[in-house]
Structure 1
Amino acid sequence: MNRLLKMGIWSVIAVITSLGCSTTHAFQSKSDSGAADRKLDLLLDIRMVEMDNLDNIFVVDAKNRLIKFDKNFNEKYRFANNKNGLIKSIDVSNPLKIVVFYDDFNHIKILDNTLSLINELDMQLPLMDISACAMSNDGQLWVYDPIQFKLLKIDDHGRVLSETSNVADYGMKNVKIGGIMERDNYVVLCDYSSGFYVFDNLGQYLFRFEAGRIRHFQLDGDLILYNTDAGLETFSLKHQERQSITIPELPQSEALIYVLYHSGAFFGIYREGIIKANSDE
């Protein structure tokens, strides 16, 4: 997600929330009437989608290809490599250094803005196992090691620059960290079944908050937007406040994988493609 102005995102949330909050076990749209026949803005077999701060759309499709589209859904570049297993996650927070993580073989690839390979790291030897990976604000990498139970910062050669103590010391027992993001002074670890664990950008543990059955999350400064079976919710790290919001004008809410929020618009991610809906629809 791009860097949103705090007042801007909260004003959007306030407008949407006034339309009603979602508390059911399916994504809720402001109105599905007249939207059921709406065409997909992008037709493609999709596994995951992320967006960068330049409005580019990155799709991992069913064939394990990473494809970059511009804001008008025009394809620009693609990258394909099946030697390292399935892509588990992509981090597009730095448009010039795209991080592609292959969980099956503990492999990390770094791509440039044309999706050309500029570096790769085989993490099986130095760390044996990692379950999540993301770009740090200073151009290094955050990884989570479930064998040592540690959050580590590594450089482009896989050398450990800093690490936390055993996270069990913070009460993080039996966690299954599957996602990491850093924005501003926050590093957020996600256990998709139980919630979020928050550190500062020096690796000091701050707190956790519970959330279940998380499908996807975005981090913008002190605001987390995350999808659950109940819909799209937000959590302010600064104020430690949670809020549910209603998704406007997205058809067939039961078929949504998750929803992205970006530049004042919502993007419904379906297995068969993407639908864009502006927040005022």
Structure 2
Amino acid sequence: MAQTTAPAADSVAPAGQAAPVVSLPGTAAPAGAGWQLVRTISLPQPGAASLDRRGNFYVTDAQNNLHQYSPDGQALNTYSPAQPGHTMQVEAWNTAKVLVFYDDRQQLVLLDRFLAPISELALPEYLDGQARVATLAPDDRFWLLNESDLTLRQLDVNQKRFTITTPLDLLIGRSRPDFRFLREYQNNLYLVDRTSGVYVFDNLGNYRKKLPFTGLTHVGFRGDELYYQTADEVHFFHLYTFQERMLRLPVAGATQVLMSEQYLYLSLPTGVQVYKM
């Protein structure tokens, strides 16, 4: 049963208090240390990006076409939407499908692994309000953040109803949130608020804690670590030991960073640089 009020956090940090972070001693590795540039992808103004479990890289261009590349940056497939729209989020971690969320026209598009369309979903048919971010949930469901009433919702399209609704007003308080990203990973749901940090929920939508990482528009996951970019470094936060480490990027000026087990992808104004680690 979904919660209708913000619960006490018990052993985790409450909404108004950030969870603890343990920083490891030492400094970041020097810029360029251990990086090998293997490819430069020419793609002006790269946008939303994602990785799948096979290490393939997905990124949108200025015209909101979605490009798929092999782990080392070789072009594979391209999806061009039938209608113009702004791509807010791409999620490719699911083994069978890729989610593309167009926030301006409030539409979810599912693609197969070759970027062929599977289905489309018009959110106004289900949601009374405006979805700010969206991502995939298990069993062909979707997580949505309804910005109009500040609720986190799970949508079951087969049942044509919301199976989970979690109000966020008590968590947010008087702050003015700026939600940018939503992702389910290892049975937890991570909601990035650029203003106050990263809210963490379990897979039933129950609030767990808030991580004190502000100013972010995106987070990634690699093994048991969450990572995010600050200036010219990547910070890693271990999800279970709460230890933090950082790594200097090989070049400055990246607008987004994604990391697989072997490769680093840096989005720059003129394209994407692929480095082997």
Map residues 169-184 of structure 1 onto 2, 5 A cutoff.
Answer: 169-171=170-172, 173-184=175-186
Give the aligned residue type for 1:140. Answer: R
Equivalent residue pairs, number: 251
Tell me the equivalent position of 2:74: 74
Map residues 214-225 of structure 1 onto 2, 5 A cutoff.
Answer: 214-220=216-222, 222-225=224-227
Query: Residue deviations 1:110-161, cap 9 Å, x none?
Result: 1111111111111123212100111113331111111121111112358334
Tell me the equivalent position of 1:277: 275
Matches of 1:237 and 1:95 in 2, distance apart?
A: 23
SS in structure 1 of the partner of residue 209 of structure 2? strand
Tell me the equivalent position of 1:264: 262
Q: Is the 8 A contact 1:185 1:221 kept in 2?
A: no
TM-score w.r.t. length of structure 1: 0.79
Matches of 1:163 and 1:63 in 2, distance apart?
A: 34
Give the aligned residue type for 2:265. Answer: F
Map residues 122-201 of structure 1 onto 2, 5 A cutoff.
Answer: 122-127=122-127, 128-156=129-157, 159-171=160-172, 173-201=175-203
| Runs (5+) with no aligned partner, structure 1 | 1-16, 23-27
Shift of 1:179: 1.0
Give the aligned residue type for 1:271. Answer: P
Tell me the equivalent position of 2:109: 109
Specify whether residues 236 and 167 from structure 1 end up closer, same or farther in structure 2 by C-alpha distance, changes over 3 A only: same
Give percent identity, aligned residues only: 21
Q: Is the 8 A contact 2:28 2:248 kept in 1?
A: yes
Shift of 1:19: 8.1
Matches of 2:102 and 2:151 in 1, distance apart?
A: 19
Shift of 1:42: 1.6
Specify whether residues 184 and 137 from structure 1 end up closer, same or farther in structure 2 by C-alpha distance, changes over 3 A only: farther
Map residues 91-110 of structure 1 onto 2, 5 A cutoff.
Answer: 91-110=91-110
Q: What is the root-mean-square deviation of aligned Cα atoms in Å?
A: 2.7
Matches of 1:158 and 1:261 in 2, distance apart?
A: 36
Specify whether residues 125 and 161 from structure 1 end up closer, same or farther in structure 2 by C-alpha distance, changes over 3 A only: closer
Q: Is the 8 A contact 2:166 2:206 kept in 1?
A: no
Matches of 2:38 and 2:53 in 1, distance apart?
A: 26
Q: Point out 4+ residue stretches in structure 1 off by more than 4 angstroms.
A: none
Matches of 2:194 and 2:47 in 1, distance apart?
A: 17
Tell me the equivalent position of 1:3: none
| Runs (5+) with no aligned partner, structure 2 | 1-23
Shift of 1:193: 3.4
Q: Is the 8 A contact 2:232 2:248 kept in 1?
A: no
Specify whether residues 19 and 236 from structure 1 end up closer, same or farther in structure 2 by C-alpha distance, changes over 3 A only: closer
Query: Residue deviations 1:179-238, cap 9 Å, x none?
Result: 111112211001123310000111110000122221431134652111123621122232
Tell me the equivalent position of 2:41: 42
Matches of 2:108 and 2:263 in 1, distance apart?
A: 31
